[in-house]
Structure 1
Amino acid sequence: MAVFAKSQVPQFSVEVYQNPYLPEGGREVNAIVTVTSTGGGTTGGIPFAGASPTASAVPGPSAPSAGVVLMVDCSGSMDYPPTKMRNARDATAAAVDTLRDGVAFAVVAGTHKAVEVYPGNGRLAVADPATRAGAKEALRRLQAGGGTAIGTWLRLADRLLGSADVAIRHGILLTDGRNEHESPEDLRAALDACAGRFTCDARGVGTDWEVKEVTGIAAALLGTADIVADPGGLAADFTSMMETAMGKEVADVALRLWTPVGAEIAFVKQVAPTVADLTARRTGAGPRAGDYPTGSWGDESRDYHLCVRVNAAGTGQEMLAARASLIVPAADGGTPRVLAQGLVRAVWTDDLAASTAINAQVAHYTGQAELAQVIQQGLQARKSGDFDGATAKLGRAVQLAARSGNEDTAKLLSKVVDVVDVATGTVRLKAKVADADEMTLETRSTKTVRVKK
């Protein structure tokens, strides 16, 4: 069993990277906002060097209360090959072993319905040696059979997590097939009902599942998505996911953006460690302010790209274009606590060199967002038989991956195309591509790299 050493409560910082200079009459301000949490968790991020941040520690216990529900696909397809179900049981047992003492947890078997495997009776167990052993004994009895209706799994996880008074609420979901026993509308309704109530990491095992379903679940519930093409790799992946979940210290963190009269947010995207568009997830937070959900945090750092449209102004004028604050709800339902904040500025100038310069951070992440988009467009074109379009899009992806230093994505692309010239993005589509290689590229297309220092 993993042992987690806890230190002080986490501290958050916000850093803003931008070129504030606009030409006379310019209206669009772009900035990268880097949020870093340090000193509290047990996993992950490398603090991002840069300008002096504002920072605030989060009050609370060193080991926050947490609840985790593991949702294991037990549909009939999990029996083909028979080792797949055994690997899923072993992986879930490994994740249970990684639970920190005192964490509330449950295991759910998912088919065309959701069934409580452990502990049962609509409740969560509290992790200790006895309950971990009990959960693993229950896992040994799991058998494959039935269909797939993921929305029912998520709704049961929501009910179970809602039954416990815990600060961190998290799900881990494994599927090996398509969501064939409920409509897309039913799954979307379940995701809408669960959004903001718990976070969820989703994994597809093998190659018979739908990438957009699994990545859509993770995106809606602010978790991660990935492929485990070889079921033998499930235990290591589940252990890693649970270790990360156990490192979360602060839940329900939101990025609050305030803009002055006449200014508006054009878009907000998380751009590291993955690309995720948060624009449509805004909730009002008083006059000229809106909150964008970021989920739970441990020791880690994430980057966000903000685009703000302001009223045009003349040379020499300056304004605060936006204030970015990181907030958490107050325990008593009162005023949210501000953890850290940073300022986005706009300065109008007649210096052409200053106003046309693109900040290195903004340029890098604009390219990373385009990289994710052209990969997805290229793979879709390939599936639909538009080979010229696929070649053009995936060639652009090769060019962008090389330019940004995204070596992992470049390696994945090389399994789908033969690269003729990296600099110009000249490629040839491979005649034969393994399903696992294509699905891995699509699933991981949104993973980004940071600007090289």
Structure 2
Amino acid sequence: MAKFSKSKVPQFSVDVYQNEFLPEGGREVNAIVTVTSTGGGTVGGAVAAPQFYAAGRGADAAVALMVDCSGSMDYPPTKMRNARDATAAAIDALRDGVHFAVIGGTHVAKEVFPGGGRLAVADAQTRDQAKQALRKLSAGGGTAVGTWLGLADRLLSAADVSIRHGILLTDGRNEHESPDDLKAALDACAGRFTCDARGVGTDWEVKEVTGIASAMLGSADIVADPAGLAADFTRMMETAMGKEVADVALRLWTPLGAEIKFVKQVAPTVEELTDRRVEVGPRAGDYPTGSWGDESRDYHVCVQVPNAGLGQEMLAGRVSLVIPGADGGVQNLAQGLVRAVWTDDMTASTSISPQVAHYTGQAELAQVIQQGLDARKAGDADGATAKLGRAVQLAAASGNADTAKLLSKVVDVVDAAEGTVRLKAKVAEADEMTLETRSTKTVRVKK
């Protein structure tokens, strides 16, 4: 296999799937926008092995590893050891030349390696030194995640790199700062680096961890058994090492008189982007998507257009992928068009695009799982049964086997197609938390 050239960066493409036909008086236009990036740092969906990188390639990145060192990490004592081993495994997955730091997190944030307000540059020696420093990590103190993120931001911003990424591990609730403090830290860090968040064990708050990842355009997951941390950290770091282009925005232009109902990512996970719009000119706004390697994501765009007469056509939206340009402007990577055509052909105007139908169902699936679990926690058995039954029905209809499997640990499925279920009398906390954490994961449309 040939080595990549240093100049080989991902090529972006945009495909739009929609039924552009509207009935007389129809105004709502829905489209699924598939964005694909190819030819970057990954091969066949997996990160290329280090020997496939050309000399100097991939050094344009910095990573901060934030490890929970609060007192609860000592219960059981193996948890802290697993966290140290996982961080060591992630350090081993760093490419040569990548800047990195390790942060120990309690009610304050401490530099574990290299210290002195700086980042180390990954090579055999610094990896070994970092792993030696990990041995000194011990559990004791509280949890104030906002301080961890703040230190990570200060360290990462010191590096002259394009890709800035964090990996955050916690095992407990964020009890030593207020929710407002955490939100302020997330607001300050959003857009400055991306961050994956992991909860280990079952004593942490799902909405806190998923909220951190969502704000920072990263992934969230549960590692119920601390023994699984090393494999998970290795995968996370390999994915981070596959990122090649940072600060990619989805730019949406709409015509005069149009109203944007929503913009959301719908694959590989559901992520609401509507409120993150940044105005960039007349009738145009940017929605952040973070960093990209070799990957494909789907977005659902819904626009309400001004009414028009039968036979008329309108450009309902122009979707572009943009990155900051060298001259202070932007570089356009790819674009796609969303159309509206008014017709009196009932067959044309009433058919729903398979892609739109599929992802509308996947977004509802994520929503009803959350609602069902919230109802269950509140003691509303009827509400929980109805919502989780609908979730089982949607998962079965869309072929979302992973979510169906997770649901089956919380409810007994009587009839999946009808959504008939019974709540289980006893549910393992790890199973309920796994379902909640992974509720936004979707499956792609079957080709």
TM-score tier (shorter): over 0.9
> Which residue of structure 2 lines up, in the alignment, with residue 205 of structure 1?
200
Q: How far apart in 1 are the matches of 2:69 and 2:59?
A: 31
1:264 Cα deviation from its structure 2 partner: 2.1
The letter of the residue matching 1:27 is R
Structure 1 match to 2:334? 340
> 1:174 offset after TM fit, Å?
0.1
Within 5 Å, give how 1:52-451 maps onto structure 2.
Answer: 62-63=57-58, 65-333=60-328, 335-451=329-445
CA contact (8 A) 1:91 1:235 kept: yes
Deviations 1:263-306 (A, max 9, x none): 12110000000000000000011111000000000000000000
Residues 338 and 76 from structure 1, CA distance in 2 versus in 1: closer, same or farther, beyond 3 angstroms?
Answer: same
What does the per-residue CA deviation read over 1:82-139, in whole Å, with 9 as the maximum and x for residues that have no partner? 0000000000000000000000000000000000000001110000011001100000
| Aligned counterpart, 1:42 | 42
Structure 2 letter corresponding to 1:28: E
Residues 215-246 of structure 1 deviation map (CA, whole Å, 9 limit, x = unaligned): 00000000000000000000000000000000
| Paired amino acid for 2:353 | N
Following TM superposition, by how much is the alpha carbon of 1:332 offset from its aligned partner in structure 2, in angstroms? 3.6
Q: Distance in 1 between matches of 2:435 and 2:75?
A: 24
**Aligned partners of 1:408 and 1:102: how far apart in 2?**
37
- Equivalents in 2 of 1:433, 1:385: separation in Å? 14
* Secondary structure, counterpart of 2:281 in structure 1: coil
Tell me how far apart the structure 2 counterparts of residues 332 and 195 of structure 1 sit (CA, whole Å). 23
Counterpart of 1:29 in structure 2 is: 29
Partners of 1:304 and 1:106 lie apart in 2 by 34
Structure-2 separation of matches of 1:312 and 1:174: 50
Alignment TM-score, normalising by the size of structure 1: 0.95
Q: Is the 8 A contact 1:45 1:301 kept in 2?
A: no
Rate the CA distance shift 1:341–1:78 in 2: closer, same or farther, 3 A. Answer: same
Q: Distance in 2 between matches of 1:431 and 1:216?
A: 29
Q: Which amino acid aligns with 1:321?
A: A
Instruction: Tell me, in whole angstroms, the C-alpha distance in 1 between the residues paired with 2:160 and 2:152.
Output: 14
Check whether the contact 2:273–2:287 (CA below 8 A) recurs between aligned residues: yes
Q: Deviations over 1:42-92 (max 9, x none)?
A: 26759xxxxxxxxxxxxxx95350000000000000000000000000000
Given the superposition, is the C-alpha separation of residues 244 and 5 from structure 1 closer, same or farther in structure 2, using an over 3 Å criterion? farther
Distance 1:70 1:64 in 2: 17
* Residues 354-377 of structure 1: per-residue CA shift (max 9 Å, x gap): 100000000000000000000000
Question: Once the 2 structures are TM-superposed, how far is the Cα of residue 331 of structure 1 from its aligned partner?
Answer: 2.8
Deviation, 1:5, is 5.6
What value does the CA root-mean-square deviation take over the aligned residues? 1.2
* Per-residue Cα deviation, 1:177-226 (whole angstroms, up to 9, x for no partner): 00000000000000000000000000000000000000000000000000
CA distance in 1, matches of 2:373, 2:285: 35
Give % identity.
82
Cα 1:266–1:45 shift into 2, 3 Å: farther
Is the Cα–Cα contact under 8 Å of residues 377 and 390 in structure 1 kept in the other structure?
yes
Residue 6 of structure 2 corresponds to residue 11 of structure 1: no
Given that 1:283 and 1:292 are in contact with CA atoms closer than 8 Å, whether structure 2 keeps it comes out as yes
User: Structure 1 116/440 Cα, relative in aligned 2: closer, same or farther at 3 Å?
Assistant: same
Equivalent pair of 2:312/2:342 in contact (CA under 8 Å): yes
C-alpha distance in 1, partners of 2:40/2:229? 28
Give the SS at the match of 1:364.
Answer: helix
For the residues of structure 1 that align with 2:108 and 2:434, how far apart are their CA atoms?
Answer: 28
8 A contact 2:58–2:241 mirrored in 1: no
Query: For the residues of structure 2 that align with 1:10 and 1:415, how far apart are their CA atoms?
Result: 40
1:72–1:107 CA contact under 8 A, matched in 2: yes
Using the TM superposition, give the Cα deviation of residue 9 of structure 1 relative to its aligned residue in structure 2, in angstroms. Answer: 1.7
- Cα distance in 1 for residues equivalent to 2:59 and 2:386: 49
Deviating above 2 A after TM superposition, structure 1's stretches of 4 or more consecutive aligned residues are 4-8, 43-46, 61-64
**Cα offset, 1:330, TM superposition:** 1.1
Measured in 1, the distance between the counterparts of 2:264 and 2:360 equals: 10
Deviations 1:291-326 (A, max 9, x none): 000000000000000001100111100010000000
**Partners of 1:359 and 1:332 in 2: CA distance:** 40
SS at structure 2 position matched to 1:285: strand
- The letter of the residue matching 2:33 is V
Structure 1 runs not aligned, ≥5 long: 47-60
Q: What does the per-residue CA deviation read over 1:139-192, in whole Å, with 9 as the maximum and x for residues that have no partner?
A: 011000000000000000000001111110000000000000000000000000
Equivalent pair of 1:64/1:168 in contact (CA under 8 Å): no
Looking at structure 1, the residues matched to 155 and 345 of structure 2 have their Cα atoms a distance apart, in angstroms, of 59
Contact 2:38–2:295 (Cα < 8 Å) also in 1 = yes
